[in-house]
Amino acid sequence: MSASGRLHAPLLPPVMLATADAAEQAETRAKARAFAEPLISGEMLDTGENTLAHADAVAAILEDIGSSVAMQAACYLVYTCPHLNKPEEVMAKAFGPHLAQLAMQTNQLVHLQRLSRAAESSNLSSDNSQLSPQLQTENVRKMLLAFSRDLRVVMLRLASRLQTLRHFAAAKLPVPQALASESLRVFAPLANRLGIWQIKWEMEDLSFRFLEPATYKDIARLLDEKRAERERYMLELRQRLQQALAKQGIAASVEGRPKHIYSIVRKMRGKSLAFDQVFDIRALRVVVQSVADCYQVLSWVHEHFAAIEQEFDDYIAKPKVNGYQSLHTVVRDVDGGPIEVQIRTQAMHEHAEHGVAAHWAYKEAGAKGYAGVSANSEYDTKIAVLRQLLAWERDLSGAAQDQAKGNGLFDDRIYVLTPEAAVVELPQGATPIDFAYTVHTNLGHRCRGAKVDGAMVTLNTPLANGQTVEITAIKEGGPSRDWLNPELAYLASPRARAKVRAWFNAQISTETIARGRESVEKLLQRLGRTSIRLEDLASQLGFKSADGLFEVVGKDEYSLRNIEVLLNPPEPALQPDQYFQKKFKGAVARKSPSGVLVVGVDSLLTQLSRCCKPAPPDPISGFVTRGKGVSIHRQDCSNFRELASRHGERVIEVRWGDHKGPDASVYPVDVAVEAFDRQGLLRDISEVFAKEKMNVIGVQTQSVKGTAWMTFTVEIHDAVSLNKVLGSVRGVKGVRAARRR
């Protein structure tokens, strides 16, 4: 006993400790299998494979790639979860919390993939899924990793998927297209990113075999033809090269590169090559100790074979952006057949074989442009970190406690599911309301409740990876102002907050427009002008739409007196219509002081109407007013059309007189200008009128939300000359439109 009174365990040699750990892990695997066997031995997966046999095969695959025994034990526990009432609690007591959590997370991913395949197979419309197939695929990739705070979850899923493909191949059963497609588009690239090459290549070839069996058989047949002759020649070439390098004192490892049917097909399609044009059907890889040795080997190869110059790449002198280094050359043998040779140092080889980012960029983005999947830089940075974790995979078995503390690589994002199995990406801490707004803005507005994995939750409940979220919505309605209160934590997404604010801003605008409409309609009722079109009224007042008029009236920024003056000029009484018609019947047309020829009498009172301000050569008509003689209107004037429809007997024919010469009359017209409001705008437009020698006798301006609405009253001799001026006004900086009213 020590001085402190504590007993110390006896110290054991490291070898004995390692042996004890290995024995304990092996016991854990056997214990997990025994635990699962009575629950799953008689059960079949949806693929038709016996569940226990599948778990045994997955454990064997993991053992082949050097995974820990703890992972192999988890293969069995994953499939027991649906059979237990409280699976995590039960497994935690039997195997510890970390192994239980690994099994639970993996089971959750099994459920995710089943839902995803079902969604893809049912060909959901874009309105339901909200995601394109390409985006859905990338989100599934991300989700696989986002789930994997413990990287072993991904390893388990990769091994399980490979075994599923092997089962279909061995049983010669038809493979669901969604499963094969997902394996090729999701799982094989993931294995590639993680550097698990043997799983990657086998999964690609099997998936391609199921998706395109005819093409697969054609390439396999072409590879089988003269296989023995090709292998014999390559063996001789390897021995010849090895001996030649040894004579020069170069220690080298010369190996053939395996041929994978899917990679051959991709290269043929990406580069539009025939089978006999694919250079690396026959290929060697030479691994040496130093860079100098690389170039010495290259020299020997080029000296003894005819090099194809355009197929030489020196990635040692000029490495790829991802750090990949190697010499690539293609030469022809004595019969003219191509042979690809890759030459690199051992360090370069390790980087090429185990550097995930480098391999992804080279094999999938396509160094020379053949078809592949481009990599996202931020995403691949995280994958590179995961690759380092893979190198420490066995250590992860004993360091699961650190993983459980939440030190994940994807803490900034989460990925949840719609009821139709579409993946939705959200920020960390997102709530059901954030989810609803991400799916559709209108769904967010109408959101009133939510279920997460089938259980009702409050709307400010933070969501977690892999959860299925279902929104309860009302038919009509809007958000609550409480959602914008940061202390209540209803929203974590800035985009969702912006949509809520926009809804309330729109509501305020709607209320203002309604208030303005009510004021204008009351005025029209008082004036007895309810039949006038509100859009025409707004246009005459210089507004782009009736709502624009209503909004400024509702804000008390525009006086109703302007509308009243436009619509209701005072008119004194006139003699009866019959007397007028009799008095002027057959009279001679005379010229009035306004420059308009009318049927009439000397000194007949005429006036140009203020509502439409006619000017030569506008088509015009006259209307006999009560006490003001004949009012001259443009024939397209809405007020004149209304008057003519009510009192057609008071319409009189008129025409313009001679408006040429130095004494010609001038006519006031209104010019409406719409422009971006800025300092000096009024001055610049006024200068245009002054330059054209047009007298401005009135200006009305108003500014609404950065847009200036201006009405200039100018005196002109005729409307034709006005067109040139309008063109000049439109050229003023900031002016969007200029027209005569």
- Kindly report, residue by residue over 454-466, the tens digit of the pLDDT: 899 999 999 987 7
Question: How crowded is residue 652: how many other Cβ atoms within 10 Å of its Cβ?
Answer: 18
Q: Are strands 695-704 and 707-716 parallel, antiparallel or unpaired?
A: antiparallel
Length, in residues, of the chain: 741
CA dihedral (479, 485, 490, 494) positive or negative: positive
Q: How many CA atoms lie within 13 A of 449 on its CB side?
A: 7
Q: Is the preceding peptide bond at 213 cis, omega within 30 degrees of 0? A: no
Among the residues of 172-260, which ranges form H helices? 177-182, 188-194, 197-211, 213-224, 227-247
- Which residues face 306 on adjacent strands? 332
Could you tell me the mean pLDDT of each successive run of 10 residues in the chain, 741 residues long?
37 41 69 90 89 92 79 89 88 87 82 65 48 55 58 82 93 85 81 72 90 86 71 83 88 79 79 67 87 92 88 87 78 82 87 45 35 37 40 36 43 74 80 93 93 91 86 90 90 91 85 87 83 85 85 81 74 45 44 55 67 85 81 86 84 76 74 88 86 84 84 84 85 88 82
pLDDT for position 207: 92
pLDDT at 659: 58
Contacts of 267 (CB under 8 A, 6+ apart): 273, 278, 280, 370
Cβ-based burial of 260 (10 A; exposed 0-12, middle 13-18, buried ≥19)? middle
Q: What is the pLDDT of residue 577?
A: 46
Which domains does the chain possess? Answer: 226-354 (3.30.460.10), 429-492 (3.10.20.30), 504-567 (no CATH), 577-656 (no CATH), 667-740 (3.30.70.260)
Q: What is the pLDDT of residue 191?
A: 76
Q: Are 630 and 623 in contact (CB under 8 A)?
A: yes
pTM, two decimal places = 0.48
pLDDT of residue 461: 94
CA-nearest of 728, 740, 624, 608 to 665 is: 608
**Residues 116, 423: contact at Cβ < 8 Å?**
yes
- Closest by CA to 667, choosing from 728, 612, 628, is 612
pLDDT at 435: 94
The per-residue pLDDT for 661 is 59
pLDDT of residue 590: 44
For residue 9, give the amino acid letter.
A
User: Can you spell out the DSSP letters for 20-87?
Assistant: HHHHHHHHHHHHHHHHHHHHHTT-B-TTS-BHHHHHHHHHHHHHHTT--HHHHHHHHHHTTGGG-SSH
